[in-house]
Amino acid sequence: MIDLGDIRKQYTQGRLDETTAADNAMTQFHAWFEAYRASEPLEPTIMTLATVDEHAQPWQRVVLLKAYDGDGFIFFTNYDSHKGQHLAHTPKASLHFFWIEQERQVHVQGTVEKLDRSAAEAYFHSRPRESQLGAWASQQSRPLRDRAELEARFYELTEQFADQEIPLPDYWGGYRVRPNRLEFWQGGEHRLHDRLEYVREGQDDAWRKQRLNP
C-alpha cells in the first residue's frame, strides 16, 4: 500500500457566507464561474459528468460546458455513446466543477433533456471543420481495432465532404442539465469548509438556500 496520509494542505483562499451569497443558485454559479475564468485557467469549461447505466453502475467522464443560463447547463456529444445510452435509460445526471486554484467546487444534480435539432446544428456548424469530421469518423464508445482504422475513416470523410457543408449526424447533438440542486464548496482552514446547498422548490423556480456541515 502506498500511504498518502501525510499529504496535507491548508485551504485559505476565501470564505463562503450564506448571508452574502446570491439567493439564486445560477446567479451564484455565474459569479464563481466568471471569477474562475478571469484567472485564465488552462480549460475553464471543464466539468465532470456522472451518469448511471441500466445496472445502476455510476460512470464519470470529463466533458466541456458549452453554455449555461437560468435553465441549466449545456453540453454536446454522440447520442450513441455510453453517456448517451445512459441518459436515454435514466435522464438524470450530476455535474462537478473543481476549481482547485481557488479551492472551490460546485456540485450539480438535475434532470436531462435533449436540445432541439436547430440548436445542435447551430453549435455543430460553429465548430472547426476537423471537429465536425471527427464527429462523423468516431463511432464513440464502440470497440476500435486500432488508431489507423479511425484515421482512415477520417480521411475518407474529408474527401467525401470536400468543398461542401458537413451535415449534422443524426446521432449527434446536445443535452441540457436542468438543475434541482447545487452545492457550493469553499475550502476552509482546519477542514472547516464552507458548504452552501441550493434546492429548487415548487414550480416557480425559487431556491432554498442553507449551510451544510463540512
Task: Name residue 210's beta-bridge partners.
Answer: 197
What tens digit of pLDDT does each residue of 5-55 get?
889 889 998 999 999 999 999 999 999 999 999 999 999 999 999 999 999
Q: Are residues 192 and 160 in the same domain?
A: no
Q: Report pLDDT for 202.
A: 74
Name the pTM for this structure. Answer: 0.94
Contacts of 134 (CB under 8 A, 6+ apart): 154
Cα gap 211→196, rounded to integer Å: 5
What tens digit of pLDDT does each residue of 42-95 get?
999 999 999 999 999 999 999 999 999 999 999 999 999 999 999 999 999 999
Task: Name residue 182's beta-bridge partners.
Answer: 108, 198
In this structure, what DSSP letter does residue 127 have? S
Contacts of 104 (CB under 8 A, 6+ apart): 13, 14, 32, 36, 97, 98, 184, 185, 186, 187
Q: Reduced to 3 states, what is the DSSP secondary structure of residue 32?
A: helix
Element (H, E) at 128: none
What is the domain count for the chain?
A: 2
Mean confidence (pLDDT) of the chain: 96
Q: Are residues 69 and 159 in the same domain?
A: no
Angle formed by the axes of helices 129-137 and 147-160, to 10°?
120
Cα gap 30→67, rounded to integer Å: 11
Whether residue 20 is contained in a domain is answered as no
Of the residues 117, 129, 142, 191, which is catalytic? 191
Known active-site residue 191:
yes
Domain range spanning residue 80? 25-125+170-212
Q: Are residues 198 and 149 in the same domain?
A: no
Q: Are residues 69 and 105 in the same domain?
A: yes
Percent of the chain with pLDDT over 70: 100
